[in-house]
Amino acid sequence: MKPERRGVAWFLLLALLLVSVGFIVSSMLRKLERDQLFLLEENMFKTAQTLAPTVVDVVESGDPGVAKIFDTLQTTQNVTGSRVRLLSAERDLIYDSLSPNPEPQEHLRFRPEIQSAFVGHYGAYTRLSDETGNSLALFVACPVRRDNRVVGCVYVSHSTDEILQQLGVVRRAANRAIFALSLVALIGALLVTGQLRRTLVRLGALTSGVDTVESKDIDLEGTDQVAQIGQNFNRLVHNLRQKVAELEDERNKTHKFLEDVAHELKTPITGLAGSVEALQSGQIDEADRERLLKNVERETERLSELTARLLELQKLEYDQLKVEPFDLISVGETVVDSLEPAALKVGVKLRLEEEFENLVARGDAQKIQRVLENLVDNAVRCSPEGEEVVISHRVEDGNAVVAVLDRGPGPPDKALFARNHQGKRFKGSMGLGLAIASEIMEMHGQELVALPRDGGGSRFQFTLQRVSPDDK
């Protein structure tokens, strides 16, 4: 920051600090004023409490003929500066420290502080003075009791002019100081605003071109402040570009998933709808009815399987691989054990070639098992009855190569790995199964390959990094 700008900044900071101090002082003066009035009220109440026991007989009898009481009230007024009046039980004025023969003052009986005193409570109120009518005074009424019975009231009043005048002088000085400091701060703010305006104009020129995701970073040449803001702005733009890319990726994933759902579920839903419509018509014989019910059962199972595969495929978009060494042979044995019963039902045998006692590879064992399950299931569906599906392992160029071989219609084309492909020999849509297997291998940085098998059929294979048992 340049020295002159630093000076302006410190000047503005000082001005704002002084203005804050001025407001604090003003608040303290208001508090002091309240405290002084509370103190005056407390002293007046003590004065009334002190007089109350000495005037019980007078106010109870309502006899204004006792001169000594008037002298006491005058002395109290001279000492405290407060006007003192006594009211009888009938709320009539019987004594006044300003006059030995006071005129009746009927308006007193209706004042709230006096009404409060005659019900046994202390009362206080601030209003215009009874003497001048153009200044404020504080009024305090204290009940006079005999045997827990209110027989009269001591009414004390005191002008607040002195307090207000003393505090007014200080307040006016503080207000003048605050006004002066505010003026200084305003002038400083105008100076700084001009500088800020020039800086913002410069920054506006720099950022005017940042209106597309592909736009370049803004030019950082200029003052230190502009350079710093420009760097922050660049970081913001980079973050926004990243978020836009993530949102676009999410949109593409969602679009692809919806396409999968629309394509895969269309056929079974159409089949279900046709079967249900035929069943509802009631114009079919028992044999057709049984056939249609079996078709509904098959399509329902197909829908369930497709839904599970769609969700699995969508989940792969967000899954993270857990890469670690694992035994490929054990994974193959697990797949054979789990799928062999279903394969035997359709007349297909499963066989695992065991050329190795163990073959350790690096990858996500659970996902590689899922690849093998999908490939074997696909091979079983494509194989004629009486054939066998083989899982083989070999080592090639230091890597582990896993293959699933069948005697189906032959090597498929590349489109078989597409998410929406449906093979002509599949019993149901299994394009998703191969798409899932292909997607998992892509996550491993490998490719799922479909090749022709010697003697007819297909060979699906993939490669994983082999790990020496000593390196596990």
- What topology does CATH give the domain 322-471? Heat Shock Protein 90 (3.30.565)
Measuring CA to CA, which residue among 323, 425, 334 is closest to residue 364? 323
Residue 235: pLDDT over 70? yes
pLDDT tens readout for residues 51-99? 888 888 888 777 666 668 888 888 998 998 899 999 988 888 998 988 8
Over range 282-305, report the average pLDDT.
Answer: 70
Q: Are 198 and 223 in contact (CB under 8 A)?
A: no
If one compares 313 and 121, the residue with the highest pLDDT of the two is 121
What pLDDT does residue 423 have?
43
Least confident stretch, 45-59, 219-233, 274-288, 393-407: 219-233
Q: Do 151 and 142 meet the contact criterion of CB atoms below 8 Å apart?
A: no
Q: Is 428 a residue whose pLDDT tops 70?
A: no
Determine the Cα–Cα distance for residues 434 and 421; give it in Å rounded to an integer.
Answer: 9
pLDDT-derived band at 4 (thresholds 50, 70, 90) equals very low
Task: Report how far residue 439's alpha carbon sits from residue 312's, in angstroms, rounded to the nearest whole number.
Answer: 11
pLDDT of 266 over the 60 cut: no
Residue 105 confidence (pLDDT): 86
- Report the chain's mean pLDDT, rounded to a whole number: 77
Q: Is the pTM of this model over 0.85?
A: no
CATH 1.10.246 fits 225-313, yes or no: no
Determine phi and psi for 444, rounding to 5 degrees.
-85, 0
**459 touches 471 (CB < 8 A):** no
Closest CA to 179 of 18, 402, 4, 374: 18
* Ranges for all domains in the chain classified under CATH 3.30.450.20: 3-165
> What gap in Å lies between CA 236 and CA 241, rounded to an integer?
9
Closest CA to 118 of 70, 158, 154, 64: 154
Residue 83, pLDDT score: 92
Rg, the chain, Cα only: 50
CATH 3.30.565.10 maps onto the chain at 322-471
Query: What CATH number labels 3-165?
Result: 3.30.450.20
Comparison of pLDDT for 143 and 290, the residue scoring more: 143
Can you read off the two tokens belonging to residue 464? 């994983």
Query: If 0-12 CB within 10 Å is exposed, 13-18 middle and 19+ buried, where does residue 446 land?
Result: middle
What number of helices (H) and strands (E) belong to the chain? Answer: 10, 12
CA distance 387 to 372: 18
The confidence score (pLDDT) of residue 426 equals: 40
Residue intervals in the chain for CATH 1.10.287: 225-313
For residue 8, pLDDT over 60 is answered with: no
* pLDDT exceeds 90 at position 464: yes
Confidence of residue 439 (pLDDT cuts 50, 70, 90): confident
The helix (run of H) or strand (run of E) holding residue 159 is strand 149-159
Which of 139, 140, 123 minimizes the C-alpha distance to 131?
139
Please write the tens of the pLDDT for every residue from 416-425: 555 444 444 4
Q: How sure is the predictor about 432, in pLDDT bands with cuts at 50, 70 and 90?
A: confident
Mean pLDDT of 397-410: 89
- Give me the percent of the chain exceeding a pLDDT of 90: 19
Short-list 93, 18, 23, 109, CA closest to 58? 93
Taking residues 144-164, what's their average pLDDT? 88
pLDDT number for residue 390? 94
